[in-house]
Chains A and B, each alone.
Chain A
Amino acid sequence: MKFGVVQFPGSNCDYDCYYALKYVLRVPTAFIWHKEKDISGYDCIVLPGGFSYGDYLRVGAIARYSPVMKAVVDFASKGGLLIGICNGFQILTEAGLLPGALIRNHCLRFICKPQNIRVENIETPFTNRCQKGQVLKVPIAHGEGCYYADQKTLEELEENNQVLFRYCDIEGEITKAANPNGSLHNIAGICNKKRNIFGLMPHPERSMEECLGSTDGRLIFESIINYLQTDSLILKD
């Protein structure tokens, strides 16, 4: 089993993800440079947070044209596990690997804070170690995290249980007050139909150790490890 963390120019959570996987969970992990064209040998690719290419033009818009992305798309189309965190999620929507878009937070400001999110679907490679309805404490830090999609896309997402996490209050209630950025349906993270591509705005790599205030982020990475180790889940077509 091997994780690869992609480094774009301007990625800044690349080392945090690498540290979380390699030193906290102790799984084999390596960096993948954005000019790389061959990414064979990996079981899960992480697109980390940050400001790829300065987020100039539009968040994630330039990164999708990065040389490594062709290989990443290839990898995912063959069923490889792909997770995009924060800026990584933005890149996934820009690349068309996940539906919808992430637009400016409703308050028009960058927000960094602890956040509660509720687990909506546990039958995926990314959430199988969670409980349905479980409330996780995973921080957010973004300026463009408002999930947006047209009505039809939203209906499809809901129908196929592609919404994996929603912003909620401490009791797990999905309320407007608990929604930090104005995301439709309080969406914090979604996967594709096939359930091998997952994007989320909260940062699981920031809630891996007790001293950081939460260890709930582990559940997401441990789910992936569990999936890769047991292969017990069958991906949908």
Chain B
Amino acid sequence: MTECKEKKIWQKWSLTLDEYRLINQSLGREANELEMGIFAVMWSEHCSYKNTKILLKRLPSKAPWVVQGPGENAGIIDIGEKFLVVMKMESHNHPSAVEPFQGAATGVGGILRDIFTMGARPIALLDSLRFGDFNQDLTRYLYIGVIGGISFYGNCIGVPTIGGETIFSESYQGNILVNVMCVGLVKKGEIIRAVAKGKDNSIILIGAKTGRDGIGGAAFASEQLTKQSEQDRPAVQIGDPLAGKLLVEACLELKQFEEVIALQDCGAAGLASSLSEMAARGKSGVEVELSRVPQREANMTPAEIILSESQERMIVVVKKGKEERVLSTLKKWDLDSAIIGRVTDDGEFTIKHNEQIVACLPVNLLVKAPTIKRKVKKPSWLSRVNVLDLEEIKVFEDYNQILIDMLASPNLSSKEEVYQQYDYQVQTNTIIPPGDDAAVLRIRGSKKALALTTEGNGRYCFLDPWQGARIAVAEAARNLSCKGALPKAVTDCLNFGAPENSDSYWQLVQTIKGLSEACRFFETPIISGNVSLYNENEGKPIYPTPIIGMVGVVEDFQNICTLEFKKENDLIFLLGESLEELGGSEYLKVIHNLISGNPPSLDLQKEKKIQSFCREMIEKGIIASAHDCSLGGLAIALAESCISSNLGAEVKIKSNIRSDCCLFGESQSRIIVSVDASFSGEFLETAWQRGVPIQQIGKVKGDRLKINQWIDLSVNQLKEAWRGR
């Protein structure tokens, strides 16, 4: 078997010469071409995390309420009353850049399978999207495609899409980000794990037939995108949401059968990865006969069958001789199924084709790619972009037109056009719909509710990845606190450039440091997640972009709070302080076309104090409205509370900082709340007792937003600018 050596096959499969040598050395023989192909996908960054594994270990993943941390298909927390919440976020960046509709659709399909694989019913989807320059035609094409794809798959499968973000920046031109988060709910004791156990138990493949789509997708996801990537379209899978829906229902029925040992989805790297991971978790082995795999196309080769990423397929492990009930249930759901192999106890992944052994590899070697240590170097250009001299930024007298321009800008304008394309109500649990700081779902059969949000400011992370990461966690937690929910856990998606680039790797190291620090502080362990490297276009890395998906719990769903003002004469307070900070702000970018300075400062202690005060006051029913003050600053937050309520506000801010910083600075740890005047005494007093910085800044009044002598606009004018009509 010298075919691999002669043809330098490892290169075709994007393995390094060192990896190729290590494989042969460990096997004690030369791997054949098929085996090398399996190693190539299993040892790709996408499946193995070889570049990041050591770093990821630094992230906090434990808390008394964590039932399952990283390592399974999704993380699980216990929220009390026998309810468990399952969650995971994953990227589908490269497929979506090449084929936006199917790329995004299969991203949704894939993350859903990770959730119901654990035996949980998917109850929510959130999408964190990053596109290139808003004014480019290509961006419009990708935007329409991605949102269409999410809408196509999520709506059909009947899981509400309740949140996310849509951000535009030149940095993502040619390498968009599509990060999809799914949350599931399951009763305690009803979890099922993806562990292959018990010699001779049957391995059943269910769902769609296996075709040639998506071959090498995991390896494709682990390379930089180039102009030639367009030709990789066949590496993108095709989604079938009806089959996905039938799989959800069938699997949730199957998990209740005692003869069902394990469920595992077939995602990246297809059968190769799902079978070897199951065997590794069970410290067992598997034997599979490829000719039994139902195939969509004729004459598929063993490599095509084992590496195919055809969607809507699941693996079920069933007790030997007890397959009948499982097979008849699948028939009821009109799903194809076939017994394709069995569990063994020899630690080997044995692949047969027409009864001939075509590959035999140790499971442990497959799932443990050698880790790589990369060079870390602080980028030399960073000190240049961190320079910002406020003296050179013009201060205006009148900010009316500026506020209108800000409200109409792509990242601050209404996202109604996006979320109205998603069915955010199906399952009838959505009690705070998209458009607020966080979405809230009630839990049927309980008083509890879940609040969910995603956050991640790539521009901050570009300027200072450590600080940007801390802010992402703090803001996510603040979003939840503004709705009255206590933050509980995080799932994340780390989108970075090539790890070979020492700048990118430094950014990754700094980000992980920042995430660890903030997640430890807020007691929100990271229970699952995904890393997406090689996010570059024509050699230029994207902004380092960690996306934080956070879940919080409200004990009584009646005690929640929304962002819109409630009634005339309610008093408006600012919790927290506005500092003279403009670095990395949306204002600098939109109005002065500058991306420079340092991101806002963040005092974690102060942040926690303000958030817990906000939650306490919401629970007591004192706060009428609460809105996180973040992108675009105070003026944008006030405008949003006006627009959503059709009520005006008269605001007078006593401050000695610059007017632009006061209106549009993005100082952290700030929340705008409105309170009925009769509660204001108790409210202020408690704030002082708790040491929370607080300032009464005005009252809800009339139909205009007035801020000092700087802004005087009707709510209708604000609304028209914000809605773009």
Contacts and interface: CB of A to CB of B under 8 A. Distances in A.
B376 interface: no
23 contacts: A9-B245, A9-B333, A12-B158, A12-B245, A13-B158, A15-B427, A16-B428, A19-B444, A20-B428, A54-B156, A54-B241, A109-B420, A110-B421, A110-B423, A112-B420, A112-B422, A112-B425, A141-B155, A203-B425, A205-B428, A209-B428, A211-B557, A212-B428
A111 B421 contact: yes
B338 interface: no
B156 A113 contact: no
B242 interface: yes
Interface string A6-39: 0001101101100110000000000000000000
A82 B144 CA distance: 37
Contacts of A50: 156, 158
Given A12-B156, A12-B245, A208-B428, 7 more contacts: A9-B333, A16-B426, A19-B444, A51-B156, A51-B241, A141-B426, A143-B155
B426 A13 contact: yes
Given A109-B421, A110-B151, A203-B425, A211 B442 contact: yes
**Interface of chain A: mostly helix, strand, loop or mixed:** mixed
B421 A112 contact: yes
A56 B156 CA distance: 11
B240 interface: yes
Most chain B Cβ neighbours within 10 Å, of A12, A13, A15, A50: A12
Nearest to B248: A12
A139 B242 contact: no
Contacts of B419: 112
A51 B426 contact: no
B242 A9 contact: yes
Nearest to A180: B420
Interface residues of B, number: 28
4 closest A-B pairs (Cβ-Cβ)?
A: A12-B158, A54-B242, A51-B156, A141-B423
Contacts of B427: 15-16
A53 B333 CA distance: 12
B151 A10 contact: no
Contacts of A53: 242
Contact of A212 (B157, B241, B430): B430
Contact of A9 (B334, B421, B425, B431): B334
B425 A55 contact: no
Contacts of A213: 431
A237 B423 CA distance: 39
A24 to B, nearest CB: 10
A206 interface: yes
Interface string A115-143: 00000000000000000000000010101
A102 to B, nearest CB: 16
A110 B424 CA distance: 12
B421 A206 contact: no
Contacts of B421: 109-112
For the side of the interface on A, what is the size category? Answer: 20 to 34
A112 B423 contact: yes
**Which of B245, B246, B333, B423 counts the most chain A CB atoms within 10 A?**
B423
Contacts of A143: 155
B514 to A, nearest CB: 36
Interface in B616-637: none
Interface in A90-126: 109-113
Contacts of B156: 10, 12, 50-51, 54-55
Nearest to A217: B428
Contact of A12 (B240, B426, B431): B426
Nearest to A56: B242
Interface in B390-413: none
Contact of B242 (A10, A20, A209, A211): A10
A205 B333 CA distance: 25
Contacts of B428: 16, 19-20, 205-206, 208-209, 212
Contacts of A19: 428, 444
Contacts of A111: 420-421
A215 B158 CA distance: 22
Interface in A47-106: 50-51, 53-56
A10 B431 contact: no
Contacts of A205: 428
A12 B157 contact: yes
Interface string B413-440: 0000001111111111011000000000
Contacts of B420: 109-113
Nearest to A52: B242
Nearest to B147: A109
Nearest to A208: B428
A110 B153 CA distance: 12
Nearest to A55: B156
B425 A139 contact: yes
A179 to B, nearest CB: 15
Contact of A141 (B425, B442, B444): B425
A112 B424 contact: yes
Interface string B280-303: 000000000000000000000000
A141 B425 CA distance: 8
A211 B446 CA distance: 13
Interface string B117-159: 0000000000000000000000000000000000100011110
Contact of B246 (A9, A113, A208, A212): A9
Contacts of A51: 155-156, 158, 241-242, 245
Contacts of B431: 211-213
Interface in A140-171: 141, 143
A139 to B, nearest CB: 6
